[in-house]
Structure 1
Amino acid sequence: MRRVLITGATSGLGREMALQLARQGCRLALTGRRADRLAAVAAEARAAGGDPLPLAGSVSDPADVRRHYAEIREKWGGLDWAILNAGVGDSKNALEFSAENYRWTFATNVFGAANWLEAVLPGMVAAGSGVVAGISSLAGMRGLPNSGSYCASKAALTAMLESTRIDLRGTGVSVVTVCPGFVKSELTDRNDPRKMLFLMETPAGVRCILDGIAQRRPFVHFPWPLSPVMAHIAPVVPCWLWDLAVSPFGRYRKKPYAEPGGARGH
C-alpha cells in the first residue's frame, strides 16, 4: 500500500489528489491549517477506500512539519511519495508593493516546501527509493502583471526542485516539478474567466499530475497549448514583446484573480 504525503489537502488540487489516490487504496498523510476541512477531506478519502492520517498545522512552521513527519514515521515507517502542494497567492500591483506580501507568500510556497524536503529526504535517501513532487506553476516561468510575489515564489520553488533533482541523481529518489496552468478551484471561481486561458477542471488536472508522478517525469506541465508556450517559448521572448503581450491581462480587473497553478490552501 503506497504511503503518500499531500500538503495543502483541504481544497482544490490537494483534496482531489487525496480522493483519486484514496480510490487506489493509498495511505494518505494529509496536512492543512483548517482542521475542520481537513477532517472532512479525510472522511471523504476513507469512504473512497483510502487510509487517511489528517495532520493539522502549517507547512511554514518547522515545528509542525517535524511533528507531523515523526507521526508518519511512527505509524508507517516512512513515505513513498511526498506531494508538496500547499500554496498561497495574492494579487497585488507593484504600485502597492509590499515586502510583507513577499514574506507571506514565500513562507508557504518556498519555505513550506523546504521544511518538508528537509524532513523527508534523509529517510527516502536511506531507503534508496521515493518520489518528491512539488506543485509549482507556469507563472514561475516569467513575471506576470499583479503577481510579483506569486511568480517570484514559484520561480524559486521550481529552481529549488530542479537543483534537488540533480543532487539526488543515483540515490533512487526522484524529484518531479509540476507546473500547472489554471485549474478550477475556489480561487478561480472569483476570477474573470476571460483572463484564465485554457482553464482545466480539477479532476483532469489532477490526473495529469498523478500520471506524471507515477512515471517519475522530471517536469510535468499542462494544459496544451498554454504550457509549451509558457514553459519553452516565454523564457526566450524579448522583454519588450513580453511586456506588450501580458500587460493587457493586468488591466481592468473587477475582482482579484488567481495566478496559474493558483493558491490551494495550506
Structure 2
Amino acid sequence: MIELDRAGRTFKVKRNVVHAVTDLSFTVAEGEFVGYLGPNGAGKSTTIKMLCGILTPTSGKVRVAGLDPSRRRTTLARRIGVVFGQRTTLWWDLPLADSFQLIRHLYKVDRKEFAARLAELTETLGLDAFIRTPVRQLSLGQRMRGDLAAALLHAPDVLVLDEPTIGLDVVGKAGIRDFLRRLNAERGTTVLLTTHDLGDIERLCRRVMLIDHGRLAFDGTLDDLMATAPGQSSIEEVVTRLYTGSSMP
C-alpha cells in the first residue's frame, strides 16, 4: 500500500506478507494419479514451483523422487517431466523433431533409447503428420501433444501437469486423456494433475486434493468428495459448492 501526502512530497510504503501456502502437507505414492484442485490464487502454482525446485519453501521440507528439489534441481530434472498448458518447452521456430533432438542432448539420453522412445511416442500421440513442422505453425492440440512427448523423452518417474488440456476441443481432450490414462496404467508413471477442467479429474484421477487459501482442504477419493455434498450430481457442482460456501470441510 502506498500513501501520498496532499502536497505530494512524501510517501509511505506498507508491506503486507501473504503466505501462498501454509501448513501444507501431503504424500503422493509411486504410481498414483492425483488431481490437485483449487481456485485461482489458492496456491496450486506455488506448490508446483516448489515441487520442481523453482521456488524454495521458507519452512518445512519437500521431497520429490527422494530428492530436495531446491538443492538437487538438476538431478531432479532427470527424474520428472513437467507440462504447462499455457507455456511451451519447445523451440518456437524449429521443427518439432529438432526440439526433440535438443531435449535429447539436454537430458543426455542415449541415442538408441531416445530413438525407441520417440518412435513409441510418435505412434501413440500421432505426431508423424506434423513432426517436421515448426512449432509456431502447430495447432494448440498438436503443440500439447508435442509438449507431452518432450516431457516424456527422458522417461521420468514423475509427471507434473498444469492445465494440459486447456483450450483443446472435445477430440483433442479425449486423445490426451486416453494417452495419460495408459501412461499411468501401463508404465506406472506417477502423475500430479492441476486443472480447472473437472472432466479431466473425473476421467483420470482416483484421488483428489483441494487447496484453499494455501491450505489443504480435502484429500480423498472422488467418492469421498461427492459424499461431502449429498444431493449434488456432478463433481463440478460439489467443488463449486465447497468453494463458494462459507467454509471448506
Q: TM-score, with normalisation over the residues of structure 2?
A: 0.34
| Structure with a larger share of its residues in helix | 1
Larger Rg: 2
Q: TM-score, with normalisation over the residues of structure 1?
A: 0.32
Higher relative contact order (CA 8 A, sep 6+): 2
